A and B are shown apart, each in its own frame.
Chain A
Amino acid sequence: MGKIDVMGNRRGQIQMGESVAILFIFFILIVFGFVFYMKILGSSAQVEFEENIQLQAIGVAQRVSFLPEVQCSRDNVRKENCIDLLKLEHLDEIVPTNQLHYFDLFGFSRIRVQQLFPPGDDLAVYDNVPDTFTDKLSTFIPTSLYDPRTGDFHLGVLVVEVFS
């Protein structure tokens, strides 16, 4: 009688052990699957994040190229890829006092104009570099620089650096 009892108990324990083992393996598989899925999700989120930064950089470059504060115009007819040097010289006076407005347009970025020919100084358009950043995307836009005093056009490049 006692032997049968022990046998029955053991069989029950074995069955229980089997169930627990199956559940254990099942959960391990779920965890593996979940980790794998999260990894894929994470990498696609990273790709999306990088795409967003690139879009942001393009957006900033486009905005600054067509900014009325610096763009050349004659009788309100705009010249594309042209920066008025006189306008640019005065922009640095209004940017610091209207930081919030320009932050909406350019965010964390540094925008400057390099005069290549004839060689000249770099001119700052906007400078707001965060204390810490993980990524920096630079865009270089060849542009002509117009000096209204002399009527001369110089060759330059608009450097747009976006930080994230």
Chain B
Amino acid sequence: MLRKKRGQMEIQFNWIFVLIAGALILAFFISVVNKQREVTLIRTSSSVATNLESIFTGAEISTNTVNVFDLPQTTVDFECGSYAIGSVRKQTGDNAVFAPKRIEGRQMITWARDWSVPYRIMNFLYLTDPVIRYVIVNNSKNLGKKIYDTLPREMNKEVVSNTLDALSALTDRNDPHIRFVFLGVKNDYPLQLSLQNVDNDKISAIAFPDLVGTSTIPRFGKVEFYEKQGNSFGTSPSKTFYMNDDALYGAIYAGSAEDYNCAMRNAFSRMALVSSIYVNRSLELQSFYGSGGCFTFHHDRFLSVLETVAGDLSLLYPPVNDQALSNIQDNIVSLKNEQNRQLQLLSCELVY
């Protein structure tokens, strides 16, 4: 009886021993696999981040280039001054990067444009997802076609007339995001029925009120960022300004007014730095020439204004009104015509 009981205990003990040892081994392997999974995720994210950094560096130096890059199945979240891939966050530094809030497709389109006002300041980098849909609502002078042709052909874009019929014909294609671009004042037509059911954060609009009835892009103007609220766009947009067509394209790409303003602040900060170099250079050349035509046309009258106004805008963008932008544009024209062109005619060293 006692031996039988002991035998049973021995068998039970063996099973308990096997169970504990098995559980330990299983737990060990599960923890290793989990750890490995986390490490692999971080490594993939960090490798994508490194690749993106190289892309950004390339885009900083080459101008007017469009590239389409393959991405692993991951989401890239952009915000002012940084982007995040999974848990890996990287800084974009003081670059002017215009991107939607999120890129989650398998590809990414990069477009770099030179921002010269009137001398080269930096490259504007535009990023988007080929599946994000851009609907350009045309104006009466067909400016939409020009903008359509300038934007990279890899983009998912279309031009529609600013009529109720044309806008009603738009249907939901299950796009991750739809961005309406109004070349003029945003109309008050309600969204087409199938678009009304789309989540609010999946549809946004941007309007350029100054583009109404123009066939060219003015040197500066207003920009309004709208968010979808129910079956139409909100009535109180975030208002800001663009300067030159490069910034206008930036507004089309930017996920929000805050991100756009952040990129513009970076751009003006850089403009102030580069302008200060040109101020010193021109004054140095003025003192070198000492007298004569070259001396006369080397001064810092226009450059100093550009430096000061850009410095102010780098701290406070958007400005209260377009006075500062108008001031910059006037000085750009003066610098071109009254200084650089005159120096060229006299065969002197140019300002820029």
Contacts and interface: CB of A to CB of B under 8 A. Distances in A.
B93 A19 contact: no
Nearest to A105: B93
Interface stretch (A86-94, A117-125, A136-144): A86-94
Contacts of B50: 52, 55
Interface stretch (B188-196, B227-235, B278-286): B278-286
Interface string B332-352: 000000001000100001101
A68 B93 contact: no
A89 B287 CA distance: 15
A74 interface: yes
Interface stretch (A58-66, A108-116, A126-134): A58-66
B120 interface: yes
Contact-size category for A: 35 or more
A89 B281 CA distance: 9
Interface of B is mostly: helix
B119 A98 contact: no
Interface of A is mostly: helix
B57 interface: yes
Interface stretch (B158-166, B208-216, B237-245, B268-276): B268-276
B53 interface: yes
Interface of A: 5, 8, 12, 15-16, 19, 23, 26, 30, 34, 48, 52, 55, 58-59, 62-63, 65-66, 68-69, 71, 73-76, 78, 84, 86-87, 89-91, 93-94, 98, 101, 104-105, 148-149, 151
Interface of B: 3, 10, 14, 17, 21, 25, 28, 32, 47, 50, 53-54, 57-58, 60-61, 91, 93-94, 116, 118-122, 269-270, 273-274, 276-277, 280-281, 284-285, 288, 340, 344, 349-350, 352
26 contacts: A19-B14, A19-B17, A26-B25, A52-B50, A55-B53, A55-B54, A58-B57, A59-B53, A59-B57, A62-B57, A62-B60, A63-B60, A63-B61, A69-B273, A71-B120, A75-B340, A75-B350, A76-B120, A86-B281, A86-B284, A93-B280, A101-B273, A148-B281, A148-B285, A149-B349, A151-B349
